Amino acid sequence: MDIHSTLKQYFSFDVFRSPQEEIIQGILSQRDMMVIMPTGGGKSLCYQLPALMQDGVTLVFSPLISLMKDQVDTLKARGIPAAALNSSLGAQEQDAIHRELTEGKLKLIYIAPERIRNQYFMELLSKVKVSLIAIDEAHCLSQWGHDFRPEYMHIPRVFPMLGNPPVAAFTATATPEVKLDIQKSLQLRNPVEFISGFARANISFQVDQVDSELDKYGKIDKLVQQWKTGIVYCATRKSVENVFMNLQDRGYSVVSYHGGLDEKSRSFAQEQFMRKKFDVAVATNAFGMGIDRSDIRFVAHFEMPGSIEALYQEAGRAGRDGDESVYKLLFNYADKRVQEFFLEGSNPGKMLITQVYELLKDSSDEKNEVHLSIDEIRELLGKRVNPMAIGTAISALAKKRNIERFDVPGQRKRGTRILTPRVLGYSLDLSDKELEEKKRRDEKKLKAVIDFAYTSSCRQQWILRYFGEAGSSACGNCDSCKNRTVSTFRAGTDDEALIVKKLLSGIARMSDQLDDGSWVPSFGRNKIIQCLLGSRAQPILSFGLDKLSTYGILSDEKKKYLENLFRELEREGLIQTVEGEFPMVSLTSHGSRVMFGKGDYSLNWPARETAVLIGSRPNSFLVNASDNSQGLDEGLLKKMKDKRAQLARARGGAPSYTIFPNKVLERLATDKPTDVEIAKQIPGIGEVKARKFLPTFLKIVKEHLIFED
Ligand code: ADP
Ligand code: ZN
């Protein structure tokens, strides 16, 4: 039975959701998989269906008994033999499942990671064929995720005793760090990756550049008037209070929520908002866990958040009911300061952590206890320290078990106990490198928010690409999409698309590609353009750039046109400028796909004037070929012969030599000219044939030089 009839027969669905089919095919071809889809996207089918089509049993790791039970019940109702082993079962029930397993009757068995400590079970399992190990909620493997479960880390230990079957990881968390953690912990072998389904089509993403608070209040006012129900996220408690007062003064139905409010006020705000007693919540990011009010029509950030992850998660609380909604970022570059303050606060260096530790130790009594508030510590350390950083330092020490915090009965202050009084500050187990790395990652996340605010490309698409979801098209619903007039924003003509491909290839040739497919730039925009134009400028020649196969491939174009094109390609996220001492340009992963003809894009295409051809220009490819000639290019020759055969067939089976004789093709495949005038000098190419056939063959040469060389 094929996968379509299995889908129909067992699951009663008519069609696969994208990309379920590809995922299933990947699993059936025994590849390791990394699948990231939002909750409700349809992940479980991706391992349940192949389980039915393969010999043996599919082992599913799942974190919660209730989740397993639901899944198994549904499977059984569909006539699929499945079982979940967990601690809630009695001995007899467990025995029954064990028996079914050894008798080969089960297609799927669900377990929690703790189960692998059960030796008896593992022995049974190692005697049957395990066709696939599926790991549900795989983000539980990542310390970066919101739900790290140490038990998950032991899962890979059982792979060898089960004969190292293919492993498929499933999660709804799309951040790059989590993904990397999962891949590493599971040691996935060259996994096929799928990230999809994160688009929120019913949310219109918008960024407004604002100059002042007053400006912001005006915008929020408009939002509330137009959309009525929503959440305004603020970066600080103070800002929450200000915005709250402002909205309340204007007579809106509004609650406020932040960590500084007492427990009672917070739960009041949350409950009343959830019960739709109020329209608007003004809150810090502390508000949100478990907010699933479905009729939230707008979400706004009064100040920029610290990451796209936070932005998208919070924006995503709008429009859960699927109705039209809006997300608005009120962007003022100056607000970056607030986030920088947080960034500093959550990334104390080794020095500060050590200082805090020493101070706590020095101030502790004979029981190794100390009662200092953060403000007091700050006072003792000197006023200029970021108070938040002290809090983070204390948490870091507590996490490493150098200290522990405890409540003091009858006091609001918490006490601190030194657990390692004999350990000196400088020998604390702290890696400067790790701390630095985390800080850099946080900085990168903040920078992404700024980039997002300034992009003029589709905001939804931009976010999806940030999370690694490729292949989405412009949403048509965000401010960028709506600001575009149809006439200027469009897909390219064939000519334009070829120019873009050449331009991207030129950039690729002038950068390095890493093993993970990302690009490291080595040249700036001007050098790349000069090279593409075939400039004889000294720096180009001295770098040997005239030896590149992409040298001069856009010599028909005007410099201005290429500059404009660079700008538009950057806006659309096909290329990126990496700032540094000298700004340098490289491809993005999207650009990389487009270069290989695998990605769609639209541009505000700049006007194109071609350079006038005067006589025959020096042909760079010819120069190039004779400079470092490796003689006849067999690959290219084969392509041309194939083309010739095709042309011959199209002419009712005319003899090949009536198109071009072998000799001519061999010369073309040796000299690799790209210019008609120059190629015509090859003996055997007359005026008529040149007109009729040369362009076709020169196109092959060009493409070969771009992609194969
Ligand atoms: P996830 O595990 O990604 O959160 P589920 O696997 O629970 O999502 O699927 C969510 C819902 O979508 C389920 O009710 C499931 O039956 C349904 N579903 C999955 N695949 C299809 C499909 N191809 N056609 C129709 N419904 C589907
Ligand atoms: Zn858009």
Q: Give distance in angstroms: CA of 121 to centre of ligand 1.
A: 30
Q: For 660-671, what is each residue's pLDDT tens digit?
A: 888 899 989 988
Q: For 88-119, what is each residue's pLDDT tens digit?
A: 899 999 999 999 999 999 999 999 999 999 99
Report pLDDT for 403: 96
Q: Give distance in angstroms: CA of 202 to centre of ligand 2.
A: 11
Ligand with minimal distance to 170 CA: 1
Of 3, 17, 137, the one to substitute when testing ligand 1's pocket (max ligand atoms within 8 A of C-beta) is: 17
Q: Give distance in angstroms: CA of 169 to centre of ligand 1.
A: 17
SS3 111: strand
Average pLDDT, the chain: 89
pLDDT band at 616 (very low <50, low <70, confident <90, very high): very low
Contact 286, 444 (CB under 8 A): no
With tokens 């200029």, the residue in question is 384
The residue whose CA has the least distance to atom 26 of ligand 1 is 13
Please check the confidence at residue 617 and state whether its pLDDT lies above 50. no
What is the percent of the chain with per-residue pLDDT over 70, rounded to a whole number?
95
Query: Sheet of 414-418: strands edge to edge?
Result: 369-370, 414-418, 403-407
Would the CB of 13 count as within 6 Å of ligand 1?
A: yes
Q: Give distance in angstroms: CA of 6 to centre of ligand 1.
A: 15
Q: For residue 205, list its beta bridge partners.
A: 327
Q: Give distance in angstroms: CA of 305 to centre of ligand 2.
A: 20
Q: Pick the range with the lowest mean pLDDT from 171-180, 275-284, 535-544, 611-620.
A: 611-620
Burial of 384 (0-12, 13-18, 19+ CB in 10 A): exposed
Of 6, 8, 44, the one to substitute when testing ligand 1's pocket (max ligand atoms within 8 A of C-beta) is: 44
Antiparallel, parallel or unpaired: β 414-418 and 369-370: antiparallel
Please check the confidence at residue 139 and state whether its pLDDT lies above 80. yes
What span, in angstroms and rounded, lies between the C-alpha atoms of 360 and 369?
A: 9
With tokens 């083309």, the residue in question is 643
pLDDT band at 289 (very low <50, low <70, confident <90, very high): low
Ligand with minimal distance to 8 CA: 1
Would the CB of 44 count as within 6 Å of ligand 1?
A: yes
3-state percent breakdown (helix, strand, coil) of the chain, nearest 5: 50, 15, 40
What span, in angstroms and rounded, lies between the C-alpha atoms of 520 and 514?
A: 7
Ligand with minimal distance to 455 CA: 2
Burial of 61 (0-12, 13-18, 19+ CB in 10 A): buried
Nearest to 594 by CA among 503, 693, 669, 516: 503
Ligand with minimal distance to 476 CA: 2
Q: Give distance in angstroms: CA of 511 to centre of ligand 2.
A: 30
Please check the confidence at residue 622 and state whether its pLDDT lies above 50. no
Contact 304, 321 (CB under 8 A): no
Would the CB of 16 count as within 6 Å of ligand 1?
A: yes
Q: Which two tokens stand for residue 678?
A: 């120059």
Ligand with minimal distance to 138 CA: 1
What span, in angstroms and rounded, lies between the C-alpha atoms of 29 and 1?
A: 16
Taking the CA of residue 17 as reference, the ligand 1 atom at the shortest distance is 23
Please check the confidence at residue 18 and state whether its pLDDT lies above 90. no
pTM assigned to the model: 0.67
Would the CB of 17 count as within 6 Å of ligand 1?
A: yes
Would the CB of 42 count as within 6 Å of ligand 1?
A: yes
Q: Give distance in angstroms: CA of 448 to centre of ligand 2.
A: 17
Taking the CA of residue 37 as reference, the ligand 1 atom at the shortest distance is 3
Would the CB of 41 count as within 6 Å of ligand 1?
A: yes
Q: Give distance in angstroms: CA of 13 to centre of ligand 1.
A: 10
What span, in angstroms and rounded, lies between the C-alpha atoms of 671 and 681?
A: 11
Contact 388, 342 (CB under 8 A): yes
More confident residue, 597 or 339: 339
The residue whose CA has the least distance to atom 18 of ligand 1 is 42
Nearest to 49 by CA among 108, 105, 136: 108
Please check the confidence at residue 341 and state whether its pLDDT lies above 90. yes
The length of the chain in residues reads 709
Would the CB of 45 count as within 6 Å of ligand 1?
A: yes
The residue whose CA has the least distance to atom 12 of ligand 1 is 42
Report pLDDT for 699: 85
Q: Give distance in angstroms: CA of 42 to centre of ligand 1.
A: 3
SS3 50: helix
Which residues neighbour 94 within 8 Å (Cβ) at sequence distance 6 or greater?
Answer: 85
Report pLDDT for 619: 38
Would the CB of 689 count as within 6 Å of ligand 1?
A: no
Report pLDDT for 446: 94
- In single-letter form, the type of residue at position 169 comes to A
Would the CB of 410 count as within 6 Å of ligand 1?
A: no
Mean pLDDT across the stretch 18-40?
93
Would the CB of 11 count as within 6 Å of ligand 1?
A: no
Q: Give distance in angstroms: CA of 494 to centre of ligand 2.
A: 24
Report pLDDT for 298: 98
Would the CB of 43 count as within 6 Å of ligand 1?
A: yes
Q: Give distance in angstroms: CA of 44 to centre of ligand 1.
A: 7
Q: For 490-519, what is each residue's pLDDT tens digit?
A: 888 889 999 999 999 999 999 888 777 778
Mean pLDDT across the stretch 368-390?
91
The sign of the dihedral angle between the CA atoms of 127, 132, 133, 134 is negative
With tokens 């006091």, the residue in question is 411
Report pLDDT for 487: 54
Nearest to 240 by CA among 260, 268, 225: 260
C-alpha 586 chain-centroid distance: 18
